[in-house]
Amino acid sequence: MINILTVVGARPQFIKAAAISHVIKEKYSHQITEDLLHTGQHYDDNMSGQFFSELNIPQPKYNLGVGSAPHGAQTAAMLKGIEEIILSNHYDGMLVYGDTNSTLAGALAASKQHLPVYHVEAGLRSFNRSMPEEINRIVTDHLSSLLFAPTAKAVQNLRNEGFPEEDIILSGDVMLDNVLHYSPLSSFHSPLSTSILATLHRDFNTDHTERLTNILSAINSIGQAFNTEVLLPLHPRTKQHIDSITSKPDMTHIHTIPPLSYLQTLAALRQARLVLTDSGGLQKEAFFCGKPCVILRPETEWTEIVDAGAAILADDSPSLILDAAKKLWSTTPPASSAFGDGHAAEKIIEKIL
């Protein structure tokens, strides 16, 4: 029996971990056991707790409760807590997801204790090292024993950086697994009706008042142009930054609400005609659900979506954001096999075994 420690800390990771936890429970429980460690990076119930019950994944065996802090302090607290758990238990490997501080801390703690690291979503590159996520994903890849790349481009990025071919696995994307698995359930979790769904959470946007103001102004202009309210679920940090703006932009066409659960997000996507986001995960979920997307960043790790004509990079420019929204309003993204066949989790577990 193989015993795996899975480290998560942010809501996108709970969703990704659900795909693999579900497959372990359904098909591999006689071969592999999994303990879940929640760092507490997202610590309120709207940002974490409800995901475990909603997605029917085990409650975490460990919760470090680190909460919000500057990058260095947060990562250090996670590293200390994860190392203590590794030293007091026997594990055969560690699963980490994506590009958060929780991902980096888990990979560092495991590698220092000679515990194999399995990185799901390996090989992603925005080629913008000013973003902390970019540093996290590069370092995590270099600490990992198995690199589970979701797309052919991610595989090529790893090859370009000289990773051993035998460590690179084209697995497909576990988020596609989840959209296919959970979409039928989402019809019972309808949020407020909306034709435009927006999210905004990256430090790159929220921590710079000029960028935040530009994007909020653009979102409001889009709502005005299409005579609708844009639904904007707010990450707690984003709300704090908006509240702190002294000269607030017009937000009369924006309807802000608390964060949505995963099933509520899928339900909102089913209703929406257009998505505006700086989230890597929501870009893909929009694509999987056949919805066009305006990306509120200057670059994306998921270039496959842009190449398919399903998304436009608009950064924080109000004019570019509005023009992109108008161009995409009547667009239906094409179907694509770039992200696999919906069985990524099974491929990942088979390779670990």
User: Which tokens sit at 142?
Assistant: 């270099």
- The closest of 260, 189, 266 to 45, measured between CA atoms, is 260
Tell me the sheet residues that pair with 147. 119, 168
| Rounded CA separation 21/84 (Å) | 23
Note if 90 is an active site residue: no
User: Which tokens sit at 93?
Assistant: 């490997």
| Contact indicator for 137, 98 with CB cutoff of 8 Å | yes
Q: Which residue in the block uniquely carries the two structure tokens 């969703």?
A: 15
Catalytic residue among 22, 119, 201, 241: 201
Query: Residues with Cβ < 8 Å from 310, sequence gap 6 or more?
Result: 286, 287, 292, 293, 331, 333, 334
| Contact indicator for 312, 306 with CB cutoff of 8 Å | yes
332: region left, alpha or beta (phi > 0 left; psi from -120 to 50 alpha) = beta
**φ and ψ of 121, to 5 deg:** 85, 40
Q: Please spell the DSSP secondary structure of 242-302, one letter per residue.
A: HHH-SSPPP-TTEEEESPPPHHHHHHHHHH-SEEEES-HHHHHHHHHTT--EEE-SS--S-
The letter for the amino acid at 30 is H
C-alpha distances out from residue 239 to 225, 244, 248, 256, Å? 24, 9, 12, 9
How many residues does this entry show for the chain? 353
Query: Residues with Cβ < 8 Å from 322, sequence gap 6 or more?
Result: 218, 221, 222, 225
Q: Catalytic site residues? A: 201
